[in-house]
Structure 1
Amino acid sequence: MQKHFFDTLKSKSSNNHSFIEEVAGILDIGYDAAYRRINLKTNLTLEESVILARHYKVSLNKLFELENTNTILTELPPEPKDETTLEMWFKVSLQNLAPLTKLRSTEFIWSGKDISLFHTLTDSYLTRYKMYVWLKDLNEEMALSKITFDEWMQTIPKSLLDSAFALGEVYKNINITELWNDNTVTGTLQQLLYYFETGLVSKEIALKICNDIDAVIQHTEKQTINQSISGSKNKNFFRLYKCDLHMLTNSLMVTTSFQKTFFVPFTVLSYLKVEHEDTCNQMYDFLQKQMSNSKLLAKAGEKDRALFFNKIHSKIEMIRKKIILEDAMSVL
């Protein structure tokens, strides 16, 4: 494997004199140390392999495929740890997505265990609450802190909100297909009830978040009926499937006319990025199979569509009533 790796690098080298000297300079090691690596007398470390692959713009994933078709590499992006890195996460996501809006063939396929970011990066209490929960999960200091959402909301940097809203706007200009089931909103509602019951979200704000979730569902229903994304400059489509057969996973498939990329959830905001062609094709085919066994709600008939969304609205109303009741009981 190491021999093939260096053969590939050498074919891409622009140094007509000494490939050994070039490698020594890239790795910041001596000539003899580079010689031993190139001649297989010393094994490359993983870090050295990555440095060389980046310099020569070689895909380690492709090289591994040649050796073992059952082995793939994934990319793990940095995980946000505080407000500053969360803002950077939004900005990097925006930079990565912006070019995709120029390709009409781009499509996002979301397998939704929870409501996706496509719907929740707006100027709302829900967006702010989501940030609060992410940071409570990812930041040890904030996790131990007793700061409530109501208090934290007053300290959110404007730049953090602006970066989130900007990312939310980008989603309007990409074709989106989503798979939901009856429990897609349940996790968000149960989480809100938990934070209310622990005293980290006030009754007043918890009810406003319920209203925001309700608004997201109403907006999603409108887009489902129209099969288009509201506010889209490119008249991008929106398709929502009701999936009763398979478990949904919060995974995302990004497809263009020339590539497929698959994102598998790792932690709260981190995803393993998979570009391995066979794996992506396999996952794409699986998602297509899921869709064939699901109902496209735009064409399912008014009754089926109304039953699905009304059931979600009923769950939201149930949580709303529970918040009001528990607050009333607390003063007795």
Structure 2
Amino acid sequence: MQEQFIKFLKGKTQDNTSFVDEVAGVLDIGYDAAYRRINLKTSLTLEEGVKLARHYKVSLNKLFEVGNTNTLIAELPPQPKDELGLEMWLKASLDNVSTLIKLKNCEIIYSAKDIPFFHTLNDSNLSRYKMYVWLKDLNTDMAKSKITFDDWVETIPDSLLQSAYNLSAAYKYIDITELWNDNTVTGTLQQVLYYFEAGLVSKEMALSICEDINDVINHTEEQTIQQSLFGAKNKNSYHLYKCDLHMLTNTVMVKTPFQKVFFSPFTVLSYFKIEHQETCEMMHDFLQKQMSISKLLATAGERDRTLFFKTIHQKINTVKAFINLDDKRTFL
């Protein structure tokens, strides 16, 4: 058990500091004593195990996972229920991303059932609308209220918007690979239609949101061709795959030189954070298999790439045409 625990802690070390020196410092013992514990010549005491767990930010529950291939301990993010809760959720997400920025050779793989949210967290009506939809789903009082998006957007806290912008900017420092299909944009378009037909989004605002979605798709297409993130100081890579076989799930896989972590959604903004390495390897292998049978749109050929983005723009234009109709009819 101690061998597996020490190996797990080594995987959490993210700088060039000697692991022996670091353990010696945490436990306030000499180099030789730390070396003996790391090499299993001396057993760790319970108190020492707790100290190491705290230093490496490993919960005691997590220790039950070490060496056990059948037990998973999942971490949950803050549960946003109002504007303040959403702001805390965005800041917690930024903390996760900021840790990656400090490392080299990190990558995010995103199985995009919906448009990845960091594409939408900018100074646009789409960004504000996404927040409105999230809160309508999560906040019971807001769900029951008749407040329109046009009215709510006038009251949105500046700090909430800034938290969104900070998170979006952080993603420009990480290599990103995404898997999309023809329906990745559909969920967002259905949200626009739903609240427009309910009278909670004005015609002018709904059309403005559709234009913002168009801008996101244009931006994504340009990044796809260049295979790099625009605005990234380190010229971080961006790769987009078109996946036609498997359903996409909004799962986010994070790869670092030290370990893998993935985030699996289960409600609107709630997710399970999984660090169990055997499970992470299974998820990573599955995503790799998905990519192997998908088209990398940067190299698939101009025809396939153009057709893919043209199909998405046609969906957006269909929604805009529906919004402009005087006699509303069923969209899908």
| Aligned-pair CA distance for 1:92 | 2.0
**Matched AA of 2:164:** A
Q: CA RMSD in A?
A: 2.5
- Preserved contact between residue 27 and residue 51 of structure 2 (Cα < 8 Å): no
Q: Work out the number of aligned pairs and report it.
A: 287
Q: Give unmatched runs, 5+ long, in structure 2.
A: 6-23, 29-45
- Preserved contact between residue 107 and residue 176 of structure 1 (Cα < 8 Å): yes
Deviates more, 1:101-110 or 1:54-63: 54-63
Counterparts of 1:4-43 in structure 2 under 5 Å? none
Secondary structure in structure 1 of the residue aligned to 2:327: helix
| Aligned-pair CA distance for 1:14 | 6.8
Matched, 1:203 2:203: yes
Q: Counterpart of 1:74?
A: 74
Distance 1:58 1:253, change over 3 A: closer
Distance 1:58 1:218, change over 3 A: closer
Q: Counterpart of 1:231?
A: 231
Q: Counterpart of 1:27?
A: none
Cα deviation, 1:137-160, whole Å, max 9, x if unaligned, reads 000010001000000000001111
| Aligned-pair CA distance for 1:58 | 5.3
Measure, in 1, the Cα distance between the counterparts of 2:208 and 2:200.
Answer: 14
Q: Counterpart of 2:124?
A: 124
Q: Give unmatched runs, 5+ long, in structure 1.
A: 6-11, 16-37, 39-49
Measure, in 2, the Cα distance between the counterparts of 1:134 and 1:52.
Answer: 38
Q: Counterpart of 2:62?
A: 61
Deviates more, 1:232-241 or 1:166-175: 166-175
- Preserved contact between residue 27 and residue 52 of structure 2 (Cα < 8 Å): no
Cα deviation, 1:107-151, whole Å, max 9, x if unaligned, reads 110000000022010000000000000000000010001000000
Measure, in 2, the Cα distance between the counterparts of 1:52 and 1:144.
Answer: 47
Q: Counterpart of 1:301?
A: 301
Query: Is the radius of gyration larger for structure 1 or structure 2?
Result: 1
Matched, 1:105 2:83: no
Measure, in 1, the Cα distance between the counterparts of 2:285 and 2:56.
Answer: 33
- What is the TM-score when the length of structure 1 is the normalising length? 0.81
Cα deviation, 1:197-241, whole Å, max 9, x if unaligned, reads 000100000000000000000000000000000000111000000
Q: Counterpart of 2:254?
A: 254
- What is the TM-score when the length of structure 2 is the normalising length? 0.81
- Structure with more helix by fraction: 1
Q: Counterpart of 1:272?
A: 272
Counterparts of 1:126-275 in structure 2 under 5 Å? 126-275=126-275
| Aligned-pair CA distance for 1:162 | 0.8
Distance 1:150 1:53, change over 3 A: same
Distance 1:138 1:57, change over 3 A: closer
Distance 1:151 1:284, change over 3 A: same
The runs of at least 4 aligned residues of structure 1 exceeding 4 Å deviation read 12-15, 50-59
Secondary structure in structure 2 of the residue aligned to 1:176: strand
Residue identity (%): 66
| Aligned-pair CA distance for 1:93 | 1.7
- Preserved contact between residue 78 and residue 92 of structure 2 (Cα < 8 Å): no
Secondary structure in structure 1 of the residue aligned to 2:179: strand
Measure, in 2, the Cα distance between the counterparts of 1:176 and 1:233.
Answer: 14
